């Protein structure tokens, strides 16, 4: 488990609030609207070669998505904490069923499903970078930093 990062797992992710019944998206300064991804919420903690994938409830996910370790190592900065969503595409669409099939006790089954339908990660917030925790930084600045890294 990454131990030298400025944020340590488990972290509770910021949760979305529903705008149901609003009719249309209100225009309010400071509000950000994201699509609803049909996936598993996942916080990524990376400290060099150490990677931890944490579920919304604080449980580790790397065992069920082993292909994501290489993806994280290739795509994210050496020391960071990122909030996002694990998704699996099946037949050109996001498939929540394909995600739930991965939570299986047999490593052989998990590896087979990972090869057939590898997961992807949709990052939407940068919570820490290097030695800096960014939780007090406005979201717009964190998002811009995420896009840069």
Catalytic residues: 36
List of E strands, the chain: 40-47, 50-55, 79-90, 93-94, 119-129, 132-133
Q: Where are the alpha helices (DSSP H) in 58-137?
A: 67-75, 96-102, 107-116
DSSP-derived pairing of the beta strands 40-47 and 50-55: antiparallel
DSSP state of 10: -
* Percentage helix, strand, coil for the chain under 3-state DSSP, each rounded to 5: 25, 30, 50
């Amino acid at each position: 488990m990454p131990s030298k990062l400025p944020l340590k797992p488990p972290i509770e992710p910021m949760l979305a609030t529903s705008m149901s019944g609003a009719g249309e998206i209100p225009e309010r300064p400071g509000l950000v609207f994201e699509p609803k991804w049909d996936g598993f919420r996942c916080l990524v903690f990376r400290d060099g070669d150490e990677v931890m994938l944490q579920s919304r409830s604080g449980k580790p996910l790397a065992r069920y998505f082993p292909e994501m370790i290489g993806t994280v190592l290739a795509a994210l900065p050496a020391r960071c904490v990122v909030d996002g969503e694990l998704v699996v595409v099946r037949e050109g669409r996001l498939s929540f069923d394909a995600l739930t099939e991965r939570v299986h006790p047999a490593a052989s089954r998990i590896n087979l499903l990972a090869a057939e339908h590898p997961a992807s990660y949709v990052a939407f917030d940068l919570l820490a970078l290097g030695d800096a925790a960014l939780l007090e930084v406005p979201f717009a600045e964190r998002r811009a930093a995420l896009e840069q890294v």
